[in-house]
Chains A and B, each alone.
Chain A
């Protein structure tokens, strides 16, 4: 089992009446709510937290991309990842990911990822999301009907750019380039592992199979919501002839650890409530840009019970606020170290997922509580789950860095 520490970087000071007074956290979020000087503190705290997690022994640290979004302050996750590459030494740097369909030309992502891979000594996991409707079709005005073909083409271009050993022309449907020759090039050969954060589209599942990418289901709604999607994924993988290697999949889960469940509820109820009530206060008008979901997926969701359940989990939930008792819903796993370890083992086994991406910071969790959660998890949960799956399956989708003795060590700044 690989356990990664995932930061969304939410703005932690949305007002208490945010839900009542503002239509949503995304796309049209009120610019007046953003205080750059407070964001200065937040960014630095968040990066401290990621670096702390790497230091405590998490297998990887994750960042992701959102735009015009009050719960995700990373329009450019690569900026954060490049800094993490310098300030950490062993953890995988998981950019989950870069929305390749948004960039003209997408080789910019090939270049930046190659830079991060070089700086980190080959520790990059390259995430390629389609991107949410809010990020792609509204905040970046990408044509929803063309988003997915653009996405596939961008991935094709980027992976080919990493693979080819000489400059080449690329004559795509959306990208025409006379000279493709990214410089630098990634350390990892033939390329860094590619992970695809997805929702529940059949095309994405098939693409992951055909290209040997990890499929990661990033839901904020926990294990129960994930069950339908992951069941659909594994059924599709089986139909295509893939072996059920749990490392072919990833899953996101929010977790709060304390000495007891009662204490955990006491500690984590407020940040959980902030996250589900304010951060996930989304305006439904941005949920379904026409053409964003392919016809094949629409048909599959209507005709397949599994897919329909998944669709309901995906589409309905984020646009309804959770009730006050989010910790009772199973969206966040809270408890003592043993309770959390038991639940995570169950999640990993039932979903057949070898890469667990954990939100140990969520909502407006303070830096102290985040460190406490991270420390407790690293010391008393991680050892209980780390060996899961390893006797049976090989993780073929994990970075292959340079030997540690060959890697550069950043020098301290001379005083």
Chain B
């Protein structure tokens, strides 16, 4: 299997990393709460028939700083800058979890930039009657089991794995920065008032969720699908938690590929 390519892009917030692989119709991928510290198998699968570009969002590994993003307008513009850096305008946009909240907003505010939208358990809404789990108030040992059905693999995915102290320090700080940025975007409830903008999404949209998602209640996908003005479908992935793309990469890639291949 070939490796992905890496390039750097200059955006108003600074430099950001873009990982790319494959050829074919374009897909932009916004990663979730841990960012993309390493390449993911789900992207390999998608790259079999697409050009996949994964720009780093602010604060995430490879991304520019999120320190000056004070409000949602700042975040929205930074997300669109990352999307533009992927050079996938008119193609598909996939966003997972925290990245899903931003992907939905990009599709809502720049409708011509997104041909099809895939949201994997996106944040952005909050219902007092069915609250989202507080992913930012967890004991360290409880966090991975909350996010995924493969907690040990997630711990390994997010660990440096190097004995070099300097390298380990920088890695740890980068992972903390990713978490800090996610918290900065979503604090305290994860509600970015996305509900008020969902009606602007006119493109075909696929909402994916892990059947075992312990973060986002099942009803959220239906609520989003109802509010989106374009055609929206929901697909549940068996055996997957909140990070469905991590837990079941083959099934998620297949569902996305089928959706993108459809009319």
Contact = CB atoms under 8 A, between A and B. Distances in A.
Interface string A39-64: 00000000000000000000000000
Interface in A250-304: 284-286, 289-291, 295, 298-299, 302-303
A143 interface: yes
Contacts of A146: 70, 184
B188 A291 contact: no
A178 interface: no
B188 A285 contact: no
Interface footprint category on A: 20 to 34
A173 interface: yes
B126 interface: no
Nearest to A140: B188
A141 B187 contact: yes
Contacts of A284: 139
B188 A290 contact: no
Contacts of B139: 284-285
B25 to A, nearest CB: 36
A290 B180 contact: yes
Interface in B197-254: none
A145 interface: yes
Contacts of A143: 183-184, 187-188
Contacts of B176: 290, 295, 298
B138 A144 contact: no
Contacts of A299: 169, 173
A286 B134 CA distance: 11
B105 to A, nearest CB: 18
Interface in B94-145: 136-139, 142
Given A138-B137, A286-B137, A290-B136, A144 B183 contact: yes
B142 A145 contact: no
Interface in A91-145: 137-138, 141, 143-145
B83 to A, nearest CB: 23
Contacts of B138: 285
B73 to A, nearest CB: 14
A298 B171 CA distance: 13
Contacts of A302: 169, 172
Q: By DSSP majority rule, is chain B's interface helix, strand, loop, or mixed?
A: helix
B26 interface: no
Contacts of A286: 137
Contacts of A144: 180, 183-184, 187
Interface in A148-180: 173-174
A344 B14 CA distance: 53
B79 to A, nearest CB: 17
Greatest chain A CB density within 10 A among B136, B137, B142 is at B137
Among A141, A285, A299, max chain B CB count under 10 A is at A285
B35 to A, nearest CB: 13
B179 interface: yes
A145 B180 contact: yes
B43 interface: no
A291 B59 CA distance: 11
Contacts of B183: 143-145, 289-291
Nearest to B67: A145
B80 interface: no
Given A290-B176, A298-B176, A285 B184 contact: no
A146 B66 CA distance: 11
Given A289-B137, A290-B136, A141 B188 contact: yes
Contacts of B172: 302
Contacts of B67: 145
B177 interface: yes
A287 to B, nearest CB: 9
A298 B169 CA distance: 10
A149 to B, nearest CB: 9
Contacts of B136: 289-290
Contacts of A298: 173, 176
Contact of B142 (A137, A285, A303): A285
A363 to B, nearest CB: 26
B60 interface: no
A303 to B, nearest CB: 8
Contact of A290 (B169, B173, B182): B182
Contacts of B142: 285
A141 B179 CA distance: 17
B64 to A, nearest CB: 14
B184 A145 contact: yes
A290 B139 CA distance: 12
Contacts of B187: 137, 141, 143-145
Interface of A: 137-138, 141, 143-146, 173-174, 284-286, 289-291, 295, 298-299, 302-303
14 contacts: A137-B188, A143-B184, A143-B188, A146-B70, A146-B184, A173-B70, A284-B139, A289-B137, A289-B183, A290-B136, A290-B180, A299-B169, A299-B173, A302-B172
Given A295-B173, A303-B169, 12 more contacts: A141-B187, A143-B183, A144-B183, A145-B180, A146-B70, A285-B137, A285-B138, A289-B137, A291-B180, A291-B183, A298-B176, A299-B169
Give the 6 A-B residue pairs with the shortest CB-CB distance, closest first. A291-B180, A290-B183, A141-B188, A145-B184, A143-B187, A290-B179
